[in-house]
Structure 1
């Protein structure tokens, strides 16, 4: 079962993916317009996302216990990479799993350092104890031939791994729990209506576009700015 943040984040991600699909279709339409003597004088239709209002029912399903390092790291890699990683490539998949086992010593060492600091929470300065894990994970995954990196941004991948490592470490150090939620309609219909919780979300588009300029040394700089 998913966590609430994963479920809501997934919905927002799917909306962004829908916008991307619409933009790809706009590019195709633009090519067709450019090749037609009459259509090339018309404006090209393009869809923009306004405000999407969502009311999402769910129910809590109890807390989850901390996962062992080799399980949660592999789980996060598969989840973030999605179709970019091919686990059916047994040889390279086993190489990844063996790498994760070797990497576990860094995780245990980081936990020991936090405990030696005698703190009840993981502080911002202690997060650096774990930074080597997402860095090494990204570097190793980029060397795997069954990892294509078509839709997966390496920096987003590294940050997602870092977030998962810190979240799981906090379960161990701070004794916190993540709560699973029930979102399947068939299961929600079996529950008393008093058990249901409703999350209301409004998702609005805030697009970015590439901007090019020259600095004082004549170097061309590309950066993303709000539309």
Structure 2
């Protein structure tokens, strides 16, 4: 399934690309006419569409609600909090050189986590990514320094997850989330849909071609603008 707005947008894009292909062919014909002694006096054939009317059958598949948008992680602060909590969890003193090693363990994992969380990453996926991150940095720390802990590693990782979760903050939406429909458009799937549940979307597309217009400003510089033909 595809979002309705994306589907309609793709139709408009394809029509625009079709016009591009047509114009490129017109250019090719114009070059051929210019090289012919007789054809160069003929007008160049070029097609222009006044209106394109489409009737598109679709069926509503599901209604999706936009996921929360996440702020980027403050990496330096996030890494520091991870390091401090890890040291607290394993309950061991580390030299300054060892702390640098811990930072080198955390940095690539934190960067990977930051890149994995996009603006539209679902909440449950964020939790999964943070869980993987927490288990990985804890395991790498224990292996690198050959540390054995009395507590269950799962418990320690859980504490780290809970400690860091607030650092991955969703941005509060300025407007309430509006459900967006996902639609069935493939004919092979539409044939299995009850005809009463099929919606026919009617679209009329008007072509408004643009052309470059060139002029000089007060300083004598050439300024180009896209204007309607």
Tell me whether the two structures share a fold, i.e. TM-score over 0.5. yes
Q: Is the partner of 1:197 in helix, strand or coil?
A: strand
For structure 1, which segment, 17-26 or 177-186, has the greater mean C-alpha deviation from structure 2 after superposition?
A: 177-186
Deviation per residue, 1:130-189 (Å, 9 max, x gap): xxxxxxxxxxxxxxxxxxxxxxxxxxxxxxxxxxxxxxxxxxxx4443221011112111
- TM-score (normalizing by structure 2): 0.55
Q: Match for residue 208 of structure 1?
A: 210
* Aligned counterparts, 1:1-227, within 5 A: 1-64=1-64, 101-102=114-115, 104=117, 112=169, 114-115=171-172, 121-122=173-174, 174-227=176-229
| Number of residues of Structure 1 aligned to a counterpart in Structure 2 | 144
Aligned-pair RMSD on alpha carbons?
Answer: 3.1
Q: Is the partner of 2:196 in helix, strand or coil?
A: helix
Task: Tell me if structure 1 keeps the 8 A contact 2:2–2:183.
Answer: yes
**Aligned equivalents of 2:177, 2:27: Cα separation in 1:** 50
- TM-score (normalizing by structure 1): 0.56
**Aligned equivalents of 2:191, 2:50: Cα separation in 1:** 31
**Aligned equivalents of 2:48, 2:54: Cα separation in 1:** 18
Task: Tell me if structure 2 keeps the 8 A contact 1:69–1:104.
Answer: no
Per-residue deviation, 1:217 = 1.1
Q: Match for residue 170 of structure 1?
A: none
Residues 99 and 199 (structure 1), Cα distance of their counterparts in 2 relative to 1, 3 Å cut: farther
Whose radius of gyration is greater, 1 or 2?
2
Structure 2, gaps ≥5 residues long = 71-110, 122-165
Q: Is the partner of 1:211 in helix, strand or coil?
A: strand
